[in-house]
Chain A
Amino acid sequence: MIPSDIVAAIHSSFGEGIGTWHKSNSENAYQRRMGSYLEVADSSTIRDLAFFLRDERALFFDSLLLISSVDNGNGTLSVIYHLESTKHGHQLTLKATMPAENAHLPSVTDIWLHANWQEREAWDMMGIRFDGHPDHRRILLDDDYPGFPLRKDFKEPDFYHGMKVPY
């Protein structure tokens, strides 16, 4: 299915208000395919959307490729889900934006198991909480490391456990 058909199927199930389809109008076909995303309007509808995308026979998004997080620099954080269907071969990108204070999203770990570690990395690096995650702790850094490194306003600590951190 081409992306516009996928978006049409989503809109017919959930209505137009679920999100806006940002289509990249680059001349490069790869950039068009990778740069188009569905911006979800309300973060709490992510789980309903995820169940629909996974269980609908025509869409069958059974594989979550990646969850990446972005600090937009203007006080908001974005979480981007890259989905793929191994049966039909099509891909979809979802984007959810939220303010940086108290950033939280519902967890999709019970829908796609791969989201377990991906969401742990988003929590470790960007400080986004995922409600309902079974193992919500840091994955790369030490558990008592102060701060979230990939935020734009992060400043590395001067001392950590008695060790001098800057060069």
Chain B
Amino acid sequence: MGYLDKLELSVLPNDKTGESNIIVTNLDTLFDWSRLSSLWQMSFGLACCAIEMMATAASHYDMMRFGVIPRPSPRQSDVIIISGTVTLKMATRIKMLYEQMADPKYVISMGNCSNCGGPYWEYGYHVLKGVDRIIPVDVYIPGCPPRPEALLEGLMKLQEIVREPGLRG
């Protein structure tokens, strides 16, 4: 009996809370909200930043409460988090994986190495100085390595980009 009561939709506001059961919105906002609440990530942990990403996914900082689930395949993911040093050998593979991701796709560059080459900027003959030389990056997270809170802030900035796409999304 209680379950049948809850199924009835009421246009009149509820007496106690003032809420009604009907929301009026448009499809774009609804889709953007659902997209930002379930950004499935393809975790690309390369070096030390991967440890911080694992710490963010663990229970203390808990990335999954944002809806971010690590997926192993590029075809099943919305965002790729490049965490760690990108060597020239790995760069060709990253380009191939980015092209395999389905639209709409986003890239988060985590840490100094994938932002600009990091500590290897001067003498690194084997390092790609920033992953934005091969793929377009949406959010840069500075740090060596960035704290888990910094990675969560970067995720929230990406959620803002998804919520108001404009020319960027």
Contact = CB atoms under 8 A, between A and B. Distances in A.
Contacts of B89: 141-142
7 contacts: A145-B126, A149-B125, A154-B125, A163-B134, A164-B129, A165-B88, A165-B128
Given A142-B88, A163-B134, A149 B126 contact: yes
Interface of B: 88-89, 91-92, 116-117, 121-122, 125-126, 128-129, 133-134
A167 B121 contact: yes
A161 B88 contact: yes
Interface residues on A, range: 10 to 19
A163 B125 contact: no
Interface in A139-166: 140-142, 145, 149, 154, 156, 160-161, 163-166
B92 to A, nearest CB: 6
Contacts, number: 34
Interface of A: 140-142, 145, 149, 154, 156, 160-161, 163-167
Nearest to A142: B89
Given A149-B125, A167-B117, A167-B129, 15 more contacts: A140-B126, A141-B88, A141-B126, A142-B89, A145-B126, A149-B126, A156-B125, A160-B88, A161-B88, A164-B129, A165-B128, A165-B129, A167-B116, A167-B121, A167-B122
Contacts of B134: 163
